[in-house]
């Protein structure tokens, strides 16, 4: 897995980030399917250790990565695909205010079957300022 992530980073088709909290690795965020040119998009996936869930660590990591992808990498669109039963991940995109685009039926093979995924996305034009600031404003309300 590590070799594949390094290879993707070298090719510019993916990025892998460790999510840390108080100096400890507590999760991971991957950016996959980075496409440039007329598509100019990527897909984000993430996980966090259960004992660290609910502390706004994941929404912060996702917000920082979206800001990086828009401002440093120069992408136009970011997508996050989430299984319908994954309430915690659905809460992340809700906090960030990502747009629900629909459902990909039987999208990814997981646990012996193809599973549906809800699709959430944001484009650079939809975001005024930074995603991190948007998250901070949402949390302050």
pLDDT of 10 reads 85
If you ran DSSP here, which 8-state letter would residue 49 be given? -
β-pairing verdict for 15-21 and 24-35: antiparallel
pLDDT band at 141 (very low <50, low <70, confident <90, very high): low
What does the DSSP assignment read for 55-113?
Answer: SSHHHHHHHHHHHHIIIII--SEEEEEE-TT-HHHHHHHHHHTPEEEEEEEEEEEETTE
Number of domains in the chain: 1
Domain interval for residue 128: 2-140
pLDDT digits (tens, 9 = 90+) for 78-125: 999 999 999 999 999 999 999 999 999 999 999 999 999 999 999 999
Q: What is the model's pTM?
A: 0.92
Is the sign of the CA dihedral 50, 51, 55, 61 positive or negative?
negative
Q: What is the CATH number of the domain that holds 13?
A: 3.40.630.30
């Amino acid at each position: 897995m590590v070799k594949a992530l390094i290879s993707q980073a070298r090719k510019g088709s993916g990025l892998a980030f460790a999510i840390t909290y108080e100096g400890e690795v507590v999760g991971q965020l991957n950016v996959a399917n980075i496409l440039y040119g007329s598509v100019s998009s990527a897909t984000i996936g993430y996980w966090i250790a259960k004992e660290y869930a609910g502390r706004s660590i994941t929404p912060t990591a996702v917000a920082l990565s979206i800001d990086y992808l828009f401002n440093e990498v120069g992408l136009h669109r970011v997508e996050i695909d989430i299984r319908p039963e994954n309430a915690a991940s659905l809460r992340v995109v809700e906090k960030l205010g990502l747009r629900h685009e629909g459902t990909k039926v039987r999208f990814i093979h997981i646990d012996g079957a193809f599973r549906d995924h809800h699709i959430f996305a944001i484009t650079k034009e939809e975001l005024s300022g930074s995603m991190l600031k948007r998250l901070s404003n949402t949390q302050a309300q």
